[in-house]
């Protein structure tokens, strides 16, 4: 059978001879009865995956020696991200196969993945068994006065040279866990029982790993080399994925992902219980889960992602409690939160409006704000022929009319944290702001370019417009923001968007499913939204570190590129306005207390996030924590001084004192969460409104001078 297009690789004879010589030594275990071996069904699935990637994936990736080397390193990193399980001798042995993995896969043989996993299984089981035996004595012999440091990001370090070096890495990691739990208020007895249970659970769960689990891990290490959104789903994962799609609007409304041994919050579903609750944040690590408002929390460190999801998922109306860890090292904070599971109603995800009142001198100016949390449409109602079905475009059109009736001077479309959704809605929403013309280009893997076009068949809003984006504005949000920017229809402000400019399709295999990237979005200017995202005309402080969040932070992300532009109209000369607008913004940013406060908080957070080590001395850790708390207090008091509010006496007052100086409500007083959220200071939105007013004033001045 010929190799598929774009995956054919050549192999010199000496490499094939080396493969034959090495296989008996490294793959002998595959010939003995063992549950962790591949089967014929998985072999056929391997051939199917390679064939589909070659025919349909957007990128042209060759399955050759270079990819084989990358596959080995990717798989080792996925298995042992902390570089504390394998020894250097294991890695040296595995790397003898670095030019053989491609030939094996092209022949339908994923056996090396199982061989490497069995060594991992052997090492980690032995380690966990030893930890369980020694843990009580280990904890009680710990000296928290010694000046030791743990490097918690070992990605760039070598694997331990021998068992003694590995023992030292594990000792420090356990000591750091014990110290963190101790400083979180747990007793030594409680810590011992918690860690014993954690390691016993991990050991028990290792015995439950089956052939499909290993195969999925190995094949995903392979497919991720094409791009980070191309994944293989085993039959169990496919079932969970399909269920999550059907029940995507039920639960707590959080998208979770695996982060080494932790489950991390990737993002929150707009309008979902977690987003409205307000305490769960992106990048929080979930370390324990419990049911209802009382009872024991189950430690989930080291658990598989789908098993953690099973614990968090539940019937609407029930409560899930989660212990979360935020930050690391001196900034590490433990807290327990309870969220009532609910079905996310379309109304809660729907676009909402408000009027922003901004004083300029003696005049109060009114700017309309439309918050668009997602690009949605009620497809079931649409298919039923319901003339009143809900969609982003329909809701925004109604809100535009309402805001114009209130005589606002301009409109801000707030796309912060909007992760995308319906491409059709992004296209249709653009049509509310342009008279006619193309909105987006889609280039498929066969190089055919498709264009979405608005015709002169409907009214559009012609007034002043600004689009506010941030690092979590992705996909459909980037299509809309990019079109508004390319037409020079309005200003785009905020921080660079996510950069997710690819389209995936899901296809069934004989064993599981394959999700692969088949198309790429391009703006009408010809620029891709991929990797680079949409760059704002005026940049505002970013809450997210662009080095850690976004497409560019993902391994093997497809690159930015461009295709031919499409002829289109320019509504304004935005470029001529930008020097003055940026100058006025910079002057305000230096004077406005809320913007200064936000910038200082972001700088503090990024500074601590960049620290890659943590002290194992209790006194040092406490001193670092207190120094961080004092820095936070100083930042808050500078804001309060600027606003004429009473200063806080200690860091303990930070969480209890409202920034606006209002009296605290009684515990029994009910508050409207949505109202509280709207009334809370939003310096980025306020500054966006001011920038829009500047643009209106400047545009009027230029028009009068013509």
Residue with tokens 């995507």: 248
Position 668 scores a pLDDT of: 38
Q: How far is CA 547 from the centre of its chain?
A: 12
Q: How far is CA 597 from the centre of its chain?
A: 25
Residues 309, 244: Cα–Cα separation, whole Å: 10
Residues 373, 354: Cα–Cα separation, whole Å: 14
Among residues 212, 486, 592, 682, the one annotated as catalytic is 486
When pLDDT is averaged across residues 475-485 and rounded to a whole number, the result is 96
Q: With CA atoms as reference, report the closest residue to 414 among 525, 503, 540.
A: 540
Residues 248/286, Cβ–Cβ less than 8 Å = no
Residues 391, 458: Cα–Cα separation, whole Å: 17
Structure tokens at 107: 């022949």
When pLDDT is averaged across residues 33-37 and rounded to a whole number, the result is 66
φ, ψ at 616 (rounded to 5°): -105, 10
Please report the beta strands in 327-362, taking only residues with DSSP state E, as ranges in sequence order: 333-340, 342-343, 352-360
Residues 352/371, Cβ–Cβ less than 8 Å = yes
Residues 389, 607: Cα–Cα separation, whole Å: 47
List, as one string, the DSSP characters of 106-126.
HTT--HHHHHHHHHHHHHHHH
Opening angle at CA 83, ends 81 and 87, nearest 5: 140
Please tell me which residue, 455 or 536, carries the higher pLDDT value: 536
pLDDT tens by residue, 605-656: 888 888 889 999 999 999 999 999 999 999 999 999 999 999 999 988 887 6
Please tell me which residue, 32 or 406, carries the higher pLDDT value: 406
pTM, two decimals, is 0.85
Residues 701, 696: Cα–Cα separation, whole Å: 9
Contacts of 42 (CB under 8 A, 6+ apart): 110, 211, 212, 215, 511
Residues 179, 616: Cα–Cα separation, whole Å: 7
Residue with tokens 């349909």: 56
Judged against a pLDDT cut of 80, whether residue 20 lies above it is answered with: no
Residues 131/178, Cβ–Cβ less than 8 Å = no
When pLDDT is averaged across residues 152-169 and rounded to a whole number, the result is 91
Confidence class for position 679, pLDDT limits 50, 70, 90? low
Position 330 scores a pLDDT of: 58
Among residues 475, 477, 495, 615, the one annotated as catalytic is 475
Residues 371, 416: Cα–Cα separation, whole Å: 8
pLDDT tens by residue, 499-519: 999 999 888 999 999 999 999
When pLDDT is averaged across residues 591-596 and rounded to a whole number, the result is 94
| Backbone angle region of 675, left / alpha / beta, with phi > 0 → left and psi within -120 to 50 → alpha | alpha
Domains defined along the chain, listed by start: 13-223 (no CATH), 250-343 (2.30.42.10), 349-574 (3.90.226.10)
pLDDT tens by residue, 408-459: 999 999 999 998 888 999 999 999 999 999 999 999 999 999 999 988 777 7
Residues 452/439, Cβ–Cβ less than 8 Å = yes
Residues 498, 532: Cα–Cα separation, whole Å: 8
Alpha helices in 512-592 (DSSP H): 574-591
Provide the pairing of β-strand 411-414 with 465-469.
parallel
φ, ψ at 450 (rounded to 5°): -110, 140
Among residues 352, 454, 500, 520, the one annotated as catalytic is 500
* Torsion angle, alpha carbons of 305, 307, 309, 312, to 10: -140
Active site residue 486: yes
Dihedral sign for Cα atoms in the order 265, 267, 271, 275: positive
Q: Find the range with the poorest average confidence among 7-11, 93-97, 421-425, 473-477.
A: 7-11
pLDDT tens by residue, 296-354: 888 888 787 778 888 888 888 899 999 888 876 656 778 888 999 887 665 667 899 99
List, as one string, the DSSP characters of 149-204.
EEE---TTSPPPSSHHHHHHHHHHHHHHHHHHHHHTT--HHHHHHHHHHHHHHHHH
How many CB atoms sit inside 10 A of residue 388's CB? 7
Give strand pairing partners of 413.
370, 467
Q: How far is CA 441 from CA 119, 377, 430, in A?
A: 48, 21, 13
**Whole-number percent of the chain with pLDDT over 70:** 88
Active site residue 564: no
How would you write 4-64 as a 3-class SS string? CCCCCCCCCHHHHHHHHHHHHHHCHHHHCCCCCCCCHHHHHHHHHHHHHHHHHCCCCCCCC
Burial (Cβ within 10 Å: 0-12, 13-18, ≥19) of residue 210: exposed
Provide the pairing of β-strand 449-454 with 298-299.
unpaired
Contacts of 671 (CB under 8 A, 6+ apart): 665
Position 8 scores a pLDDT of: 37
Residues 538/579, Cβ–Cβ less than 8 Å = no
Average confidence score pLDDT of the chain: 86
Q: How far is CA 115 from CA 31, 89, 171, 212, in A?
A: 11, 15, 28, 14
Position 316 scores a pLDDT of: 85
Q: With CA atoms as reference, report the closest residue to 371 among 469, 460, 449.
A: 469
φ, ψ at 139 (rounded to 5°): -65, -45
Residues 413/370, Cβ–Cβ less than 8 Å = yes
Structure tokens at 466: 């600004």
Provide the pairing of β-strand 363-371 with 411-414.
parallel
φ, ψ at 673 (rounded to 5°): -60, -40
Residues 118, 213: Cα–Cα separation, whole Å: 12
Residues 238/513, Cβ–Cβ less than 8 Å = yes
pLDDT tens by residue, 199-208: 998 999 898 8
Confidence class for position 18, pLDDT limits 50, 70, 90? very low
Residues 505, 500: Cα–Cα separation, whole Å: 15
Position 55 scores a pLDDT of: 92
Go through the chain and tell me how many residues it has. Answer: 706
Residues 178/618, Cβ–Cβ less than 8 Å = no
Contacts of 661 (CB under 8 A, 6+ apart): 640, 643, 645, 646
């Amino acid at each position: 059978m010929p190799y598929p297009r774009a995956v054919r690789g050549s192999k010199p004879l000496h490499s094939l001879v080396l493969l034959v010589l090495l296989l008996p030594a490294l793959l002998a275990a595959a010939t003995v009865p063992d549950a962790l071996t591949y089967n014929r069904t998985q072999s056929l699935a391997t051939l199917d995956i390679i064939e589909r990637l070659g025919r349909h994936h957007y990128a042209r990736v060759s399955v050759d020696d270079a990819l084989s080397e990358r596959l080995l390193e990717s798989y080792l990193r996925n298995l042992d991200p902390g570089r504390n399980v394998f020894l250097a001798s294991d890695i040296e042995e595995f790397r003898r196969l670095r030019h053989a993995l491609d030939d094996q896969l092209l022949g339908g043989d994923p056996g090396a993945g199982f061989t490497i996993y069995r060594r991992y299984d052997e090492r980690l089981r032995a380690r966990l068994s030893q930890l369980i035996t020694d843990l009580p004595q280990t904890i009680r012999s710990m000296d928290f006065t010694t000046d030791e440091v743990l490097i918690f990001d070992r990605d760039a370090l070598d694997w331990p040279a021998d068992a003694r070096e590995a023992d030292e890495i594990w000792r420090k990691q356990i000591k750091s866990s014990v110290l963190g739990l101790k400083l979180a208020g747990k007793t030594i007895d409680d810590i011992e029982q918690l860690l014993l249970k954690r390691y016993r659970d991990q050991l028990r769960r290792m015995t439950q790993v089956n052939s499909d689990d290993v195969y999925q891990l190995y094949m995903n290490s392979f497919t991720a080399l094409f791009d980070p959104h191309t994944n293989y789903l085993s039959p169990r994962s496919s079932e969970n994925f399909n269920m999550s799609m059907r029940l995507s609007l039920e639960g707590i409304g959080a998208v979770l992902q695996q982060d080494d041994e932790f489950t991390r919050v990737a993002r929150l579903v707009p309008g979902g219980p977690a987003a409205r609750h307000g305490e769960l944040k992106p990048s929080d690590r979930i370390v324990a889960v419990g049911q209802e408002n009382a009872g024991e929390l189950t430690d989930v460190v080291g658990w598989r992602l789908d098993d953690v999801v099973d614990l968090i998922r539940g019937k609407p109306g029930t409560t899930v409690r989660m212990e979360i860890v935020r930050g690391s090292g001196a900034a590490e904070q433990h807290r327990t939160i309870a969220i009532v599971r609910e079905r996310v109603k379309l109304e809660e995800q729907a676009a909402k409006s408000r009027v922003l009142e901004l004083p300029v001198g003696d005049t109060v100016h009114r700017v309309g704000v439309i918050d668009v949390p997602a690009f949605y449409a009620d497809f079931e109602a649409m298919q039923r022929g319901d003339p009143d079905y809900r969609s982003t475009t329909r809701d925004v059109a109604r809100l535009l009319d309402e805001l114009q009736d209130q005589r606002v001077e301009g409109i801000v479309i707030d796309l912060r944290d909007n992760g995308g959704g319906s491409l059709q809605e992004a296209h249709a929403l653009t049509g509310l702001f342009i008279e006619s013309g193309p909105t987006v280009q889609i280039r498929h893997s066969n190089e055919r370019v498709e264009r979405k076009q608005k015709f002169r068949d409907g009214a559009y809003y012609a007034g002043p417009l600004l689009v506010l984006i941030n690092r979590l504005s992705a996909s459909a949000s980037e299509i809309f923001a990019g079109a508004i920017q390319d037409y020079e229809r309005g200003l785009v402000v905020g921080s660079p968007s996510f950069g997710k400019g690819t389209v995936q399709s899901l296809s069934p295999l004989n064993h599981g499913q394959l999700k692969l990237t088949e198309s790429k979005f391009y703006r009408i200017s010809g620029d891709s939204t991929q990797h680079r995202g949409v760059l704002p005309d005026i940049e505002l402080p970013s809450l997210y570190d662009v080095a850690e969040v976004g497409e560019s932070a993902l391994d093997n992300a497809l690159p930015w590129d461009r295709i031919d532009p499409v002829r289109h109209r320019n509504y304004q000369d935005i470029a001529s306005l930008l020097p003055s607008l940026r100058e006025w913004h910079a002057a305000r940013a230096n004077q406005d207390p809320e913007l200064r406060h936000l910038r200082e908080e972001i700088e503090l957070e990024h500074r601590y996030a960049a620290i890659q080590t943590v002290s194992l001395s209790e006194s040092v850790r406490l001193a670092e924590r207190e120094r961080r708390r004092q820095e936070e207090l100083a930042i808050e008091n500078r804001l309060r001084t600027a606003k004429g509010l009473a200063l806080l006496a200690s860091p303990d007052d930070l969480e209890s004192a409202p920034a606006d100086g209002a009296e605290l409500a009684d515990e029994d007083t009910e508050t409207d969460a949505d109202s509280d959220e709207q009334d809370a200071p939003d310096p980025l939105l306020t500054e966006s409104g001011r920038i829009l007013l500047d643009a209106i004033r400047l545009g009027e001045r230029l028009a009068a001078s013509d």
